[in-house]
Amino acid sequence: MTFDQQDAITAFNANHRLALTDILYFYGHVPITSKITAVRLLSYDLQSMTIRFHHNEVEFDIDKLIVFETPLTQLSDFTVYIDKMVRKAAKERNYSHIQINEVVYPNNIVEYIIIVAVFLPLMCYFYRPLLHLLPLPEFIKEFLDNDFILIAIEALAIITHILETYILLRPKLKFYRVPTDFLIEWYALGLLEGYAPAKRLEQLAMEKLKSE
């Protein structure tokens, strides 16, 4: 094995663990479950690559040989070739080939206004003078000056954000395989803002794709 091969293997194992799992599933026909761990690239040549992984029900590591559909003409072609494999394998698993492992918080005044607006009915419920300070027509204030109406509006806002989080944000979090460490924050932002976090997540993903 050349130094260039070893460098490529080290870099791939450090930065593309999920990609190796996708390749193992799609090209190696290995069912991916929680019992499959420690997936890493062991070696490659012009004809094939070998992925090593551990199965919790087996005492020793397992090596899976994956033969390239088209042999490489030179070893330096490996990075470009495996990138195509990664994209195809991820697509077949209904995932993106990139992973989002960060959180994007509200970054403009509109998004912060939305957060405040969500809790405004509740604040008016506990401190009614606030309602009369709002720049609203008098007949609307009179309509809102009711405990039941304020609680109903607050409940409707929360339910709407829950639905937006479940329908719009949750699929994107799954598609981009956001790690558990960041899921709680994304979901919390979804409950606070509704659709906005899903939009920011998609924008972040597009930025990552453009930078490739």
CATH number of domain containing 70 = 3.20.180.10
The confidence score (pLDDT) of residue 12 equals 87
d(CA 68, CA 49): 8
What is each CA distance from 55 to 32, 59, 146, 177, in whole angstroms? 10, 8, 61, 22
Residue 13: which domain range? 3-92
Q: Note the pLDDT tens digit of each residue in 50-59.
A: 999 999 988 8
Number of domains in the chain: 2
The confidence score (pLDDT) of residue 212 equals 75
d(CA 131, CA 153): 13
Gyration radius from the chain CA atoms:
25
d(CA 83, CA 91): 12
Whether residues 156 and 86 share a domain: the answer is: no
Whether residues 29 and 75 share a domain: the answer is: yes
* Residue that is written with structure tokens 């960041």 in the block: 182
The confidence score (pLDDT) of residue 67 equals 95
Which token pair is 136? 């609203």
Q: Are 16 and 86 in contact (CB under 8 A)?
A: yes
pTM of the model: 0.85
Whether residues 81 and 114 share a domain: the answer is: no
Whether residues 72 and 114 share a domain: the answer is: no
Is 99 inside any structural domain? no
The confidence score (pLDDT) of residue 16 equals 86
Whether residues 83 and 134 share a domain: the answer is: no
Whether residues 124 and 87 share a domain: the answer is: no
Residues of the chain with pLDDT under 50: none
Burial class (CB in 10 A: 0-12, 13-18, 19+), 108: exposed
Is 97 inside any structural domain? no
Last residue of a domain, one of 41, 58, 92: 92
The confidence score (pLDDT) of residue 1 equals 67
The confidence score (pLDDT) of residue 66 equals 95
